[in-house]
Copies of this chain bind each other. A is one copy, B any other.
Amino acid sequence: MPELRQDIITGEWVVIATERSKRPESFTARAETGPDDRTNCPFCYGHEAMTPPEIMAYSEEERKPDTPGWKVRVVPNKFPAFSHEGILKEFEYGIYRAMTGIGSHEVIIHSPDHLKDLDQLSTEQIDLVLSVYRERYLALSTVEEYKYILIIVNHGPRAGASLRHPHSQLFAIPMVPHLLEMEISGAERYFREHGKCVYCQMVSFEMKERVRMVAENDRFVVLEPYASQSPFETWIIPKNHLSNFEEITDSDKRALAGILKGILENIADNLGDPPYNYYLHTSPLHQRDLQHYHWHLEILPRLTIRAGFELGSRLIINVTTPESAAEFLRAGYGQGNLR
């Protein structure tokens, strides 16, 4: 059972994931990611038995679970950072506090194609992946112990991807994590002071200024945030206020698939296919129709290394202005520019 431990000084929590634990010795041999080899890929057709039994899948034809023919497939993570077996329990250990690492850790396989990254899939296929996001959110939001669901993508080994076959990961966890707490309490404070959603304000300000705007369609803007933490940090924000991603309409979901494909293609084509992470920030579970919070997707290309200053202070030094990054990406759309 993974364990959550609280830092006695800062109050921050850390997951000690014993299920995926590494022996100290294993760090001395610097592990490189394996060869780009489909024969051992647990996410390719015909290898369904290499994963734990599937949670769900989309397919056109009827099929038996854990057989080929699926279009998107969801399976439990084989080395979960959170476990859905056991009970949620806080406990003390001497002067410290801890809790059981209850939760769910799932893998969403984007397509049967071993090499096609998200931006190389059709808009229809990306739309299907987003449908799975929504469906899993809705299914897991009924579990009382879960307080937050975070869906993320790790693209490339230097962004933490350990398997090449493109996939998302979903984490259902027993607390609202620190970054989301900061976002939500900050947004709440802004709403109290200004009577407006801070994300709605930002969208309207940036659409006027245009210097940090990258692209837009009817439903979404793509922009570089004013206080970007890294070069090319990019957010996709819905133009209309909505606190909970899982309430996205089919037509908005389709529009998101299109704009997500466009920006990921742009980044891959014009920045040399860099490693990146993206993560979907939405309301905590069991909270709906928040006036002050606004779901969005954050893309973080991993072009620089966080060094001692950043890790020792949490004050990030960014060497590229969001204005110049936005200008570069606007040009990067070329013929296909959404504007």
A-side residues, CB < 8 A to B, are 5-18, 20-25, 27-30, 81, 93-96, 148, 150, 152-154, 157-161, 169, 171, 173, 175, 177-180, 182-183, 186-187, 190, 198-199, 201-202, 205, 209, 225-229, 231-232, 270-272, 274, 277-279, 281, 298, 300, 303, 305-309, 311-322, 324-325, 327-328
Contact = CB atoms under 8 A, between A and B. Distances in A.
Contact of A8 (B21, B153, B161, B227): B227
Given A227-B96, A328-B25, A183 B311 contact: no
Nearest to A82: B317
Contact of A198 (B9, B21, B232, B317): B9
Which among A28, A95, A308, A320 has the greatest number of chain B C-beta atoms within 10 A? Answer: A308
B5 A227 contact: yes
A317 B160 contact: no
A173 B316 CA distance: 13
A173 to B, nearest CB: 7
A95 B212 CA distance: 14
A95 B190 CA distance: 11
A28 B228 CA distance: 19
Given A231-B24, A305-B159, A308-B279, A317 B5 contact: no
A175 B313 CA distance: 11
Contacts of A320: 21-24, 27
Given A23-B324, A27-B231, A179-B312, A17 B307 contact: no
A275 B194 CA distance: 46
Most chain B C-beta atoms within 10 Å of own C-beta, residue among A16, A306, A321: A16
A165 B149 CA distance: 45
Contacts of A27: 231-232, 271-272, 274, 303, 320
A164 B6 CA distance: 36
B11 A314 contact: no
Contact of A17 (B29, B270, B308, B318): B318
A101 to B, nearest CB: 9
Nearest to A30: B272
Contacts of A152: 307-309, 312
A324 B21 CA distance: 10
A183 B9 CA distance: 6
B20 A325 contact: no
Contact of A315 (B173, B225, B314): B173
Contacts of A325: 24
Nearest to A199: B9
A175 B274 CA distance: 33
A106 to B, nearest CB: 12
10 contacts: A9-B198, A10-B183, A16-B318, A24-B320, A27-B231, A28-B270, A28-B271, A81-B317, A96-B226, A277-B308
